[in-house]
Copies of this chain bind each other. A is one copy, B any other.
């Protein structure tokens, strides 16, 4: 297995069990670059956002960061002025260790909301995580675990591309299980690259990559109060600087970044709360990009469709019912629906020759592909989700604030 962690992109990481999580597991992590990095970040658009999101937006505004400090177990949301002070204090603590400014650090927190951070545990935790700083793969994997909440598995991804005679690495990790259960889950992704790249080109590449990855996954259509994706570029690869989006290496870098983000996003869908399989809703033949996305999303968020997939039911009726509520351009009689590669709906009618028993068996696999051809144009898109199961209800109904 290649080293799929942030350490493969030349970052040092450390983690510690500070006692924030009642389980006693790893709950504080730091990512440190030896040199200043170009930085870009994308945050939740939820207006009820956490203190670390507010502070993170301010700190990344310059396009430069040196480090990231993160904790799990408490999200520092709905904590007012004291929450903002706590998020800044986390940054200041790490800044003191690496001779940087507080504003050179991006903070992130995930876990229960409405509670103040236990700073008596968090600050010593940051010290301990810094003391463990290492560039070993194990350190990278520990960091991926330190940011988990209801996740069952750590999530990492890695790409190496060749630019001229040199390698450029893009690597990262993320967490997220309920797309958001604001009590216990949040989507956080930490990405690093050895590419030398300007902040503006980095922002563009990240925005594009997130648009086709993290923004194309839905578990329960509930956007977190803490979602944060941050990318640091430390320039260690030594290739010619990518100064803008027309630079020769930009396209290869942006593609690698997109693939890393998509791989991480897939892992989020697979680890969705209660999920037993990933559903890929692909749309083609749409008249516009908006139409393609809307139709894919409207099917992916349907609880009726997601429960049908859980039951192994090739229920094209629930797909067409969902599509019928969209505003996309199409004629219902022209739409073709395929489940697991077999056409089940065409010409406004079910396809009587479809082998439903076979499709039902195929739907028991870990990956269930659904293809909707609107036959109204040439644009395509896709959204990932997971099946809706009784375990989702258990995880979310039996949890108590």
Contact = CB atoms under 8 A, between A and B. Distances in A.
A350 interface: yes
A181 B306 CA distance: 12
Given A225-B324, A304-B181, A349-B79, A399 B311 contact: yes
B80 A349 contact: yes
Copies held by the complex:
2
A397 B182 contact: no
The SS class assigned to the A binding surface is loop
Nearest to A223: B325
B314 A401 contact: yes
Contacts of A348: 78, 80
Given A78-B349, A178-B304, A310-B393, A401 B322 contact: no
A33 interface: no
A167 to B, nearest CB: 41
A92 interface: no
A374 to B, nearest CB: 12
A207 interface: no
A219 to B, nearest CB: 10
A233 to B, nearest CB: 31
Contact of A77 (B49, B317, B394): B317
A390 B393 CA distance: 6
Nearest to A396: B307
Given A78-B320, A307-B393, A183 B315 contact: yes
